[in-house]
Chain A
Amino acid sequence: MTQHVHAPPARSGSAPEGAGAGVPPAARKRRAGAWRKRAEIAFFVAPALALVATFIAFPVAQAVRYSFYRWNGLGPLENWVGLENYVRALGHEVFTDAVVNNLTIVVLSVVVQLPLGLGIALLLNRQMRGQSLLRVVIFIPYVLAEVVAGVVWFLLLQPRGMLNALLEAAGLGEWVQLWLADPDIALWTVLGVLTWKYLGLAVILMLAGLQGVPPELYEAAQIDGATWWQVQRKITIPLLGPTIRTWAFLSMIGSLQLFDMVWILTGGGPANATVTMAVYLIDQGTNRSLYGYASAVAVLLFVISLTLAALYQVFILRRDVAEAPARRRRRRAVR
């Protein structure tokens, strides 16, 4: 976001009108050009902006408005209650549980998927038989619908389902669990399924990042006699920093908005053990017809997401921007 500060001086090419500015054109022509440019920009941006304004900004603004009312969805919006819905939500145990569950999923998704994804990506980033097949296979869960994958996992995780039968067959009878029915376990089960579902994304993104590591570095390291592991640790992983930070950001946003998988697997149960903010708000909205209250929860969900995203930008992604000029110099030298 802060690239605005750094970009113009460093980027020689991508601003074509900069090149044109050197030539002194007639003032009138420049003004006409300026209008033309504005019209072009408007033409290009208008469709996207219209869609975002109509289908995102407006409904979100409406949700904010509803959140100040007590409204069961029937009849006009007239019972203004100020901040009462927000006070209620923040004091409601199920909502605070949902926030804690979301945060748990945010943190553990990164903590679990990062080393796994990185490890698998490093493994796959070498010549081996079946490598391209592996890359495809590991991405399969990610392309499946959460609903479809959820239905299959739901069946697998039944008390008499395949997972428990497998454990029995493997002589691990004491590991048999009520995966979705035990309030102490259900959240971990959901996390496991989410890891299965989204690990492929981490792997693919990191593989993509690895493609960007200049091969010269490997060659140089190999000549210096570095082992494969040394190369990964000293060269590859540090250079993957931006990729990892971007992926973690995407993962965080996804975890905060988690709905489909939980809805299909547990519906937020048992006894609200796996409830997330999105599940809670849909439940309150559609099952209880508390539209004003559900809208307040929606706004809180947004505020929490925004806060975390901003903190992430400030404390983590900023490093990428700060490092940028230095790296750019380095790259240019290589060229």
Chain B
Amino acid sequence: MTGVPVAPVRDPVADAPEQRRRRRSSAYSGGNPLVYAVALVVVAITVGPVLYAILGGFRTNAQLAANPVGMPDPWVVTNYIDVLTSAQFWQLTWNSTVIAVLTTAIVCVAGVMAAYPLARYTFPGREVLFLVFTLGLLFPLTVAIIPLFLMIRDMGLTNSVWGVALPQAAFALPMTVVILRPFLRALPTELEEAALIDGASRIGFFWRILLPLSGPGLVTVGVLAFVASWNAYLLPLLILTAPADQTLPLGVANFSTEYAQDTAGVLAFTSLAMIPALVFFLAMEKRIVSGLQGAVKG
């Protein structure tokens, strides 16, 4: 909907971001001390709370009470070990993983399928159909949460990974379609023409050529869906009532109130709960950022 104007001239295949960056950096290079100082402040504020949690997990409650800002002295690993050796933590992590993977898979498959005709077919009602998806962006889960809960119960999906993954995928789809459509549209038409001349069907073109080329776009929407699912709170709260089926955010929230007197333990639990998301993001950072470019411009 938004980046329409720029899309036609974009060519993600040719314009490799690496190339561009290198060229520009030759134009204006180097940073002055002020830039570094500002960067340092930004970093300190950004990672401060995260570091506080991680370091706090290495302290005892007595240390935390005596001096909220100090460094661990001595370093204590029992908080982390307690969490890492508890079956609960791993169960929560496993549940979060299963639900996030399912959500991501559904979003990617359904999203790219829907975006394809919206991007590369002309047919009456196309924009109306697209509008249906974009309107979905406006519905927060909270608007539908009560009827949604009742419906999921009727479908017998309470305490099931599907009860969370399917609605989450549905709520992630509008954004996915909005991102993928311009992305697919920007792929060069010549590819399609060549494929069709070679006798490939439209569906064959989709599978064999379009899908592999839309990798970066799929990574973007996949990662967005994965992170959204991994971080989701409200829907799992209502659907996953059995402790054995709950996800990490629910576990963190519960742990932080149930063991609130054990601040160091809460910090250790919370820090460990952050790690999967952080590791995942660090591993994907390059591709996310290059993918996001397509998203915003598209």
A321 to B252, CA, bound (A): 45
A60, A259, A302: the one contacting B234 at CB < 8 Å is A259
A56 to B109, CA, bound (A): 18
Structural contact, A306 and B138, CB atoms closer than 8 A:
yes
Structural contact, B43 and A1, CB atoms closer than 8 A:
no
Structural contact, B173 and A145, CB atoms closer than 8 A:
no
Structural contact, B252 and A209, CB atoms closer than 8 A:
no
Give chain A residues whose Cβ lies under 8 Å from the Cβ of B297.
Answer: 208-209, 212, 242-243
Question: B151 at interface (Cβ–Cβ under 8 A)?
Answer: yes
Structural contact, A151 and B144, CB atoms closer than 8 A:
no
Question: A84 at interface (Cβ–Cβ under 8 A)?
Answer: no
Question: A139 at interface (Cβ–Cβ under 8 A)?
Answer: yes
Closest residue of A by beta carbon distance from B125: A41
B10, B17, B252: the one contacting A148 at CB < 8 Å is B252
A63, A144, A164, A228: the one contacting B277 at CB < 8 Å is A144
Question: With A63-B143, A134-B43, A135-B285 in contact, do A49 and B49 touch (Cβ < 8 Å)?
Answer: no
B25, B39, B52, B189: the one contacting A152 at CB < 8 Å is B52
Dominant secondary structure of chain A at its interface with chain B:
helix
Structural contact, A138 and B42, CB atoms closer than 8 A:
yes
Question: B270 at interface (Cβ–Cβ under 8 A)?
Answer: yes
**Could you mark each residue 1-40 of chain B with 1 if its beta carbon is under 8 Å from any beta carbon of chain A, else 0?**
1111110111000000100110111011111000110110
Give chain B residues whose Cβ lies under 8 Å from the Cβ of A176.
Answer: none
Give chain B residues whose Cβ lies under 8 Å from the Cβ of A29.
Answer: none
Question: B101 at interface (Cβ–Cβ under 8 A)?
Answer: no
A227 to B25, CA, bound (A): 15
Structural contact, A55 and B117, CB atoms closer than 8 A:
no
Question: B231 at interface (Cβ–Cβ under 8 A)?
Answer: yes
Question: B227 at interface (Cβ–Cβ under 8 A)?
Answer: yes
Give chain B residues whose Cβ lies under 8 Å from the Cβ of A161.
Answer: 68
Question: B148 at interface (Cβ–Cβ under 8 A)?
Answer: yes
Which residues 113-131 in B have Cβ within 8 Å of A in the complex?
113-114, 116-123, 126-127, 129-131
Structural contact, B6 and A242, CB atoms closer than 8 A:
yes
Dominant secondary structure of chain B at its interface with chain A:
helix
B106, B144, B233: the one contacting A63 at CB < 8 Å is B144
B190, B253, B274, B293: the one contacting A212 at CB < 8 Å is B293
A41 to B126, CA, bound (A): 10
Structural contact, B122 and A18, CB atoms closer than 8 A:
yes
Give chain A residues whose Cβ lies under 8 Å from the Cβ of B289.
Answer: 135, 204, 207-208
Give chain A residues whose Cβ lies under 8 Å from the Cβ of B245.
Answer: none
Question: With A148-B273, A151-B253, A242-B2 in contact, do A40 and B203 touch (Cβ < 8 Å)?
Answer: yes
Structural contact, A56 and B203, CB atoms closer than 8 A:
no
Structural contact, A37 and B121, CB atoms closer than 8 A:
yes
Question: A4 at interface (Cβ–Cβ under 8 A)?
Answer: yes
Give chain B residues whose Cβ lies under 8 Å from the Cβ of A257.
Answer: 140, 142
Question: B81 at interface (Cβ–Cβ under 8 A)?
Answer: no
Q: Which residues of A contact B (CB under 8 A)?
A: 1, 3-4, 6-8, 10-19, 37-38, 40-41, 43-45, 47-49, 51-52, 54-56, 58-60, 62-63, 66, 73, 119-120, 123-130, 134-141, 143-149, 151-156, 160-162, 164-166, 169, 196, 199-200, 204-205, 207-209, 211-212, 215, 218-219, 222, 228, 231, 242-243, 245-247, 249, 253, 256-257, 259-260, 263-264, 278, 281-282, 285, 291, 294-295, 298-299, 301-302, 305-306, 309, 317, 320-321, 323-324, 327-328, 331-332, 335
What are 13 sample pairs from A and B whose C-beta atoms fall under 8 A apart?
A11-B8, A14-B8, A44-B114, A45-B114, A58-B151, A126-B25, A127-B28, A144-B274, A155-B56, A166-B69, A208-B289, A257-B142, A298-B144
Extra A-B contacts (10), CB below 8 Å, given A139-B281, A152-B267, A207-B289: A14-B185, A15-B121, A44-B116, A126-B29, A137-B46, A141-B50, A152-B49, A242-B5, A246-B296, A282-B234
